Amino acid sequence: MGFKLISLFLLLPLLTLTILSRFDHALASDKKLHESHRNRTVLAGAGRVKIAALKGRKQTRDCNLFQGRWVFDANYPFYDSSTCPFIDGEFDCLKFGRPDRQFLKYSWQPDSCTIPRFDGQAFLNKWRGKRVMFVGDSLSQNMWESLGCMIHASVPDTKTTFIKRTPVSSLTFQDYGVTIYLYRTPYLVDISKESVGRVLNLGTIEGGADAWKDMDILVFNSWHWWLHKGVELQGWDYIRNGSSLIRDMDRLDAFSKGLTTWAQWVDQNVNISQTRVFFQGISPTHYVGKEWNEPSNSCNGQMQPLSGSTYPGGSLPAASIVSRVLSWMKTPVYLLDITTLSQLRKDAHPSTYGAYGGNDCSHWCLPGLPDTWNQLLYAALSM
């Protein structure tokens, strides 16, 4: 008995040290998880996919689609811009004189798996008779047009109907009964006309949202317009925040409130037995070269991606807001966490090679980066 007591007293410090060590390791791991926006789960915003099927927030450890690097790939791009009839001039960089083509030759390689190559005909067969809708701003348009071109390259002879209108545009592949819609609404929440002028209402989604219902795939996006300043650029005169009507407020706070309203709408209106819901994630800009250690530069003249898997400029606060809002939703929403992989592509913007002039470091060339976004969407739906 005495020997057992002595042994126990000798073991207690070791057990305590082991427990504390594991606790400290858990805290460090938790801190690292929260500090790295690239490693979020779908619940907090990442992209591990369940091999059997996409089931909302549930993921396995098999593959994080959004942790990886860009590699040169001679098999890219997926299509030739000159043969795709759906590309808007602001994205058609080669048509408007971009002289280099190396930016077309990069593929995204996750660290822990291989992404299935996009197959447009397989996509059409799987989603035959279904409807897909991109909802958001011009970055949604970027992704919508990209998907149309990728599918068209696989089935170039199939009949299509292409309609561009405001706010709803559509592309139908008639032989398959698949329609891909674009619904333009940059804030997701309402802008209404009142006696004082145009009011951005952070608490309502009414205008047009019925069009989002009964889709088979919904891909939402919002952020860029929340940064616009000046009544002409921002598209509104006042903000309604609860009972308050104000001229302006902190834009991150406004985005958080607006996205919360969107989340409540999704939870109340989306039938998850029919509809798979995605959030496109925050697309970055490259106007400030100091973010990648080139203080005097912007995206103009950039010809290759950044190497590695981390962006020197760090994460975007808006991405953290998206993750937080998605984390408490009842509806499974899969975050296409494209932020970091897009931050690495300082070379992929139109810059001065677009239809509207200026230096565009916000949108993306087609073919180009949005094709990877769609390949990741395809992977999330397929793996």
Sheet bearing 333-335, strands edge to edge: 160-163, 168-173, 178-184, 131-136, 217-220, 276-279, 333-335
Separation between Cα atoms, residue 30 and residue 39, nearest integer Å: 11
What Å distances lie between residue 351 and 105, 191, 358, 373, CA to CA? 18, 30, 7, 20
Tell me whether residue 138 is one of the annotated catalytic residues: yes
Catalytic residue among 137, 337, 347, 360: 360
- 6: alpha, beta or left? (left if phi > 0; alpha if psi -120 to 50): alpha
Catalytic residue among 138, 140, 315, 323: 138
Separation between Cα atoms, residue 110 and residue 183, nearest integer Å: 31
Token pair for 160: 């299509």
225 Cβ neighbours under 8 A, 6+ residues apart: 137, 186, 187, 234, 235
Tell me whether residue 360 is one of the annotated catalytic residues: yes
Q: How far is CA 383 from its chain centroid?
A: 18
CA dihedral 338, 339, 344, 348 (to 10 degrees): 70
Tell me whether residue 152 is one of the annotated catalytic residues: no
CB 316 within 8 A of CB 284: yes
Catalytic residue among 107, 351, 363, 371: 363
Q: Which residues are catalytic?
A: 138, 360, 363
